[in-house]
Amino acid sequence: MSQLLFRLSKLSSRNNNVLIHKNSRFLSTSPYLILGVFGDDFRSACGNFLSDILLFDPAKEELLTVRDKAVPEELVCSQVMGASHGWGFFSGHNAIHISDTFSPLASKSDSKVIALPPITSMIYGQSEVVWNVAMSSSSPYRQDNEEGDCVVAIKFLGNHLTMCRPGRDLGWTNKLIPFVSFENSNLMYSKREQRFSLPAPGGNYLCSWDLHFENEPKFTELVFRNIPQLPQSEWELMDSCFKEDHWVESPCGQSFLVKWYSHVPSIRCKEPMVMVFREDQDTNEGTKNMSYTEDIGDLCIFLSKSEPFCLVASSCPGLKSNSIYLMGHSFAVYDITTKTARHFERPKGLPESLTHFLPYWLAPFSM
């Protein structure tokens, strides 16, 4: 379940056709998919290992290589455990770190690394397998956040959630999720409601936690409207699929529930199926009215093992509007209107030894 990353592998050769950004300055980046890290077994003058960060650019649908990135000592031989707001989360050496090392905007010689408290006191009987992480702000640094302290939340397989404030808390606050949650949903943070949210199994309720660790979770019923009229055979087909429910919020605060149906094992000739429900404005206290839609406008949604996120497609030329970018049981872009998926091809220039990609979309990162 965990993903090894910084156990460095040698590149037998370098491909000059790979898109490279060196010594460039950006205001923001495209979203990227983490493909892997390759490097030589030698250290730079500052003592760090040098490596190449391999990313997939979904807007240009090509490989992006960040050459000669210095990997901090804390991250060598660590495992990637999640991503949020463009920051990577790593576990190793009995420690957890947050780093901007994947960002093309970050310093190539001096990546930011933030140490989090070790997770030592698990709730009895709970899994220690991390499913995903979420963060309440775009930066884990306290001085960078106008809205207050950043809160990090980690969701484990099963019904365990833990939270802390980087740079402030000396330990984690453990919470029991009031239902068993395996691989069916991802934790996310709603900036509009200032709560961490998690769809319950079946997708009929939304469970959420505020930023005050002592409070109990809140349940909100999801009431579905305008459910499409489908043949019985199609409903039966969806019932046979693996289903994920993702709650995601647009940059302007509009909320969506995305139901992603996958064939397991993945069969390329059988396309993934997706249904999108938009929160209506006439939502009442204790409920959210959700209407089926095939048009989310100039938006695109990214689903993976990262915290789910939504972007304005026109803000990054090349991204497809009214689409969902999938990474997991499928590596594809799904058109909501036509209900068709186009699978991404293996990027040109990618080392042949890299056969599996890390299942984490990175949200745009700004400096």
Average pLDDT score, the chain: 84
pLDDT digits (tens, 9 = 90+) for 216-271: 899 999 999 999 998 998 888 888 888 999 999 999 999 999 999 998 765 554 68
Q: Greater confidence, 61 or 95?
A: 61
Q: Greater confidence, 180 or 147?
A: 180
Q: Partners of 156 in the beta sheet?
A: 130
Rounded-to-integer distance, Cα 245 and Cα 257, Å? 7
pLDDT at position 167, please? 87
Rounded-to-integer distance, Cα 326 and Cα 72, Å? 30
Do residues 322 and 262 make contact, with C-beta atoms less than 8 angstroms apart?
A: no
pLDDT tier, 366 (very low <50, low <70, confident <90, very high otherwise):
low
Instruction: Give me 154's structure tokens.
Output: 């980690």
Strand bridging mode 287-293 / 299-303:
unpaired
pTM of this prediction? 0.88
Do residues 66 and 108 make contact, with C-beta atoms less than 8 angstroms apart?
A: yes
Q: 347-351: long-range contacts (C-beta < 8 A, 24 or more apart)?
A: 347/35, 347/56, 347/61, 347/62, 347/63, 348/17, 348/62, 348/63, 349/15, 349/17, 349/18, 349/63, 349/65, 350/35, 350/54, 350/63, 351/11, 351/12, 351/38, 351/54
Strand, coil or helix: what is 304? Answer: coil
Q: Greater confidence, 244 or 281?
A: 244
pLDDT at position 49, please? 79
Least confident of 1-5, 161-165, 312-316: 1-5
Cα–Cα separations (whole angstroms), residue 69 to 48, 124, 247: 9, 40, 34
Residue at token pair 């000396």: 170
Rounded-to-integer distance, Cα 301 and Cα 39, Å? 32
Do residues 334 and 303 make contact, with C-beta atoms less than 8 angstroms apart?
A: no
> 144 — phi, psi (to 5°)?
-90, -5
94 pLDDT more than 70: yes
pLDDT at position 76, please? 82
pLDDT digits (tens, 9 = 90+) for 33-92: 999 887 665 455 556 678 899 999 999 999 999 988 888 888 888 889 999 999 999 998
% of the chain beyond a pLDDT of 90 = 52
> 305 — phi, psi (to 5°)?
-85, 0
pLDDT digits (tens, 9 = 90+) for 102-159: 998 888 888 899 999 988 666 555 657 889 999 999 888 865 556 568 999 999 888 8
Q: Taking every pair of C-alpha atoms in the chain, what is the biggest distance, in angstroms? A: 65
200 pLDDT more than 90: yes
Residue at token pair 């909501």: 336
Q: What is the mean pLDDT of residues 192-206?
A: 93
pLDDT at position 14, please? 37
